[in-house]
Structure 1
Amino acid sequence: MVTTTLREMLITADAIRFGDFTLASGKKSTVYIDIKKAITSPAILKKIASEVLSRNQQFDAVAGVAVGGVPLAVSVSLAADKPYVIIRKEQKGHGLASLIIGEVSGKRILLVEDVTTSGGSAVFGIEQLRSAGGLVKDVIAVVDRNEGAEKTLRDLNVTLTPLVRMQDLITG
């Protein structure tokens, strides 16, 4: 039986685009990694959940920042049979107006990210989770662009574990 790697699945799903792009971090890049498109595939989502769990099972709940992190958190939640948490990017003007959906207080939370560049989205998620009482020591990213996120998170006493690094996607 031939096992397809996550790297191969992302390439086949056309998750790597070339052109001129502005990333969420504000940086310019000639490479865009479109994980959101790739994770619309159930096979890729299942593979990501499997890869995440092969690297870390020491958590009480898994969290993702909206939008890209939410399907990742749900897939890991289902695979691990553990709760998931959604982190909104901004407060709603109605209802409970909380940025956190789910229980985090006193729990070990694994934060999952689609792509990390500078680490800004992950830092936002970590800050929100910690302010709600969550214990965050680990972030797993589907792809790390190797542009500073690892150091940024290390400065917060958080370990970044990428499933794939960008250079592996573009060089093979």
Structure 2
Amino acid sequence: MTEDEVLSEFRAAGALLEGHFLLSSGRHSAHYLQCARVLMNPNRAGRLAVALASALPRELRSRIDKVVSPAMGGIIIGHEMGRALQVDAIFVERPTGTFELRRGFDIQPGERILMVEDVVTTGLSSREAISAVEGAGGKVVGICSLVDRSGGQVEFDIPYHALVSLSFPTYAEDELPDDLAAVPVEKPGSRKKP
């Protein structure tokens, strides 16, 4: 699937939004990708997951024992990636602010994990989820996401692959351009900021 085809899927689902958005990372942007909306259609979610799984190097695909995703945003694409890779898919969640395994999910010592996200902007959530997986005894062998919102700037110590890389500008609170600051801010993500 080409980058244009991926963005067409987002547009068709009404998932490419414009306005003033406070991202989960704490940064502001004039653009927001509402992955929950693009993934609400099971056929579309499956197509995107198959495309993402196909984009992973064969040697990485063959080493994956389980898919883990951070809740909320990564759950659907993580589940579909598990289906595409024919492995179990579980998720970590933050009931008290720190990612942890719940719901009877477990990771066996040394189990090779693919971390699957919907969107990566700074990599903070991914790093926090990786810590939870490693704390449970797993070994994260790769990370993937539908969208790399950093435009290729985010770096991890393990292989990272995204279906599409975008570089919509993001801003700290004190860096907002006047035209963006004039637009009321929306917080469309699932993670609450204090």
Give TM-score, length-normalised by structure 2. 0.73
Q: Which moved more, 1:54-63 or 1:114-123?
A: 54-63
Instruction: Give yes or no for contact 1:84–1:102 (8 Å, CA) kept in 2.
Output: no
State the Cα distance separating 1:137 from its structure 2 match: 2.6
Mapping for residues 10-21 of structure 1, pairs under 5 Å: 10-21=10-21
Aligned length: 156
Equivalent position of 1:30 in the other structure: 30
CA distance 1:149–1:105, shift in 2 (3 Å): farther
Separation in 2, partners of 1:103, 1:115 = 24
Query: Does 1:69 pair with 2:70?
Result: no
Q: 1:128–1:149: structure 2 CA closer, same or farther, 3 Å change rule?
A: farther
Flag the structure with more relative contact order, 1 or 2, with Cα contacts below 8 A and sequence separation at least 6: 2
- Percent of pairs identical after alignment? 26
Deviation track 1:11-45 (CA, whole Å, cap 9, x = no partner) reads: 21121111011000000100111001110111221
CA distance in 2, matches of 1:138, 1:15: 26
Shift of 1:9: 1.0
Task: Find the aligned partners of 1:111 and 1:91 in 2 and give their Cα distance.
Answer: 21
Aligned amino acid, residue 8 of structure 2:
E
Change (3 A) 1:104 1:13: farther
Superposed structure 1 runs of 4+ greater than 4 Å apart: none
C-alpha displacement of 1:79: 2.3
Q: CA separation in 1, counterparts of 2:151 and 2:21?
A: 15
**Is the aligned partner of 1:80 residue 2:85?**
yes
Amino acid at match of 2:117: E
CA distance, structure 2, for counterparts of residue 72 and residue 33 of structure 1: 14
Consecutive unaligned residues of structure 1, counting only runs of 5 or more, are 93-97
Q: Quick check: 1:138–1:159 contact (8 Å CA) kept in 2? A: yes
Larger radius of gyration: 2
Q: Quick one: distance in 1 between partners of 2:75 and 2:148? A: 18
RMSD: 2.2
Is the 2:151–2:165 contact (alpha carbons within 8 Å) kept by the matching residues of 1? Answer: no
